[in-house]
Structures are given as structure tokens and as C-alpha cells.
Amino acid sequence: FSPPAAGEDPFTLLNLPFSNYTRLDLDFRSYYDFNSSNTLVGRLALGVAVPYWNSEVVPFVKQFYVGGANSIRAYPIRKVGPGAYLSYVVNEDGFAQPVLEDQTGDLKIEWNTEYRFEIIGALKGALFCDIGNVWTLQEDSFRPGSQFKFNEFLGEFAIGPGAGIRLDLSYFILRLDGAYPLRDPAIDGPLGKALRENEGVIFPDKVVNWNFAIGYPF
């Protein structure tokens, strides 16, 4: 968690520290119906948050994250990034264990594509692929590799293809999606690769992440 403001004399309102930041969210969606039972859906979600005045960071609850049932479904919520940051600790036997901390950033880029089709009656199916990550705008000494850089960010996207089934009950939809972390920006990035090849570090096997939710992801 980051403090709302920095400095010896932060701006206050009613004697409470007050954060100064600007946040922009953009969400673009496209739907293409092949017929009444088959639809191709795409979503591009962009976001940026910038602190100003005497604030050095954006409040934690206003920072961006990816992962979870309505985002990059191959990962639990807030367990991607930022950037290529490697949130693992290595034990004495050379096995890497994930640090279970929520990860957020100042910048988000996410793309989701989903093909929805009818299986039979109220039972629907979907094939999808989620791509994205979050980054910090400034260098973070506690999270190396987290800063957004134009010459590196394309190689820092998490990629998660998957499939799902949905039960359309008219009033609401029950959804079960399974997605595989095909590319992990931390494990498959330069930091993870260096640990594997140079120090023999063993990372956990990638597994399918399951998401149970109500309603469509987008």
C-alpha cells in the first residue's frame, strides 16, 4: 500500500492527507454476429493514472490491475505484473515460490477476444484469449522491471488462451472459464529466464486457472 501523498508538508483537507492525481479509463468494445448463435467479441481496455502536485503515488485503490474472472482469466485477480517484475522468492533447494501480494500499476493495456457459440439450448460455449499487463510510470526500486518502457513493453504482455461454458438462465448467466498462462511476463521474461539458465532456479509448473462467475466478462 502506498501513502496518498509525500513530503513533509502534504496537502490536507479537514486535517487529512489528500491525494492529487488524474486517472483516465478507456474501454472499447466490438461485437460481430455471424448469426443468432455465434458472436465474436473484442475489448480493448486502457488506463493511466498520474499523481501531481505534492503526491508521488496514486492511492492503491485507484491503481490499475489485471487478472481475474473479467480480465486476464489465466491468472488470479491482481497477480500479473507490473511489467516483468518477478514476485517470487527462491528457497534453499532452488525452487521459486510466488509472493502472494496484490500487484498494481499506473498504466494498463488489456485486449480480450472471445468467440461465443451455442452448444445446445441454454448451454453456451466460448473460446477466448486475454492479453495484457500493468506497469508503473516511474522506476520502483522495490519492484525491478515494473516500469513501462516503449522498447520493452511489447514483450511484457501476459497471454492466456482458454475456453468456457455458460448456462443462460435468462435472468442471469452462470459462467465457468478455464485459461492457461501461455506466457507469463515474469517467469518467461528476462529476469525469470536468467534465473532458470544461470542459477538453475525451478519455477512452479503452469496450470489452468479456473474462474466461476455470474454474467459475461465483457
pLDDT tens sequence across 125-175: 999 999 999 999 999 999 999 999 999 999 999 999 999 999 999 899 999
pLDDT at 45: 99
Q: What is the mean pLDDT of residues 202-217?
A: 95
pLDDT at 78: 96
3-state secondary structure of 139: coil
Under the banding of pLDDT at 50, 70 and 90, the label for residue 7 is very low
Q: What is the CATH number of the domain that holds 171?
A: 2.40.160.50
Higher-confidence residue of 76 and 9: namely 76
Q: What is the mean pLDDT of residues 32-47?
A: 97
Whole-angstrom distance, CA of residue 125 vs CA of residue 120: 9
Q: Which of 7-16, 72-81, 153-162, 178-187 has the lowest average pLDDT?
A: 7-16
Residue 56 pLDDT > 90, yes or no? no
Q: Which amino acid is at 21?
A: Y
Higher-confidence residue of 93 and 132: namely 132
Residue 203 belongs to some domain of the structure:
yes
Residue 190 belongs to some domain of the structure:
yes
For residue 176, which phi and psi values (nearest 5 degrees)? -130, 115
Residue 53 belongs to some domain of the structure:
yes
C-alpha cell at 63: 491503481
pLDDT at 197: 85
Residue 72 belongs to some domain of the structure:
yes
Number of independent structural domains in the chain? 1
Under the banding of pLDDT at 50, 70 and 90, the label for residue 1 is very low
How many Å separate Cα 121 from the centre of its chain? 33
* Pairing of β 96-98 and β 88-90: antiparallel
Scored b (16 or more CB within 10 A) or e, 49-71 reads bebeebbbbbbeeebbbbbbbbb
Do 57 and 50 contact (CB within 8 A), yes or no? no
Q: What is the mean pLDDT of residues 57-67?
A: 95
* Residues listed for the chain: 218
Residue 3 belongs to some domain of the structure:
no
Bridge partner residues of 45 (DSSP)? 27, 110
pLDDT at 13: 66
Q: What is the mean pLDDT of residues 43-57?
A: 92
Residue 3 pLDDT > 70, yes or no? no
Q: Check residue 60 and report its DSSP letter.
A: G
Q: Which of 134, 137, 151, 142 is nearest to 84 (CA)?
A: 134
Residue 127 belongs to some domain of the structure:
yes
pLDDT at 11: 64
Instruction: Give the residue numbers spanning the domain of 189.
Output: 12-214
Percent of the chain with pLDDT over 70: 94
Residue 1 belongs to some domain of the structure:
no
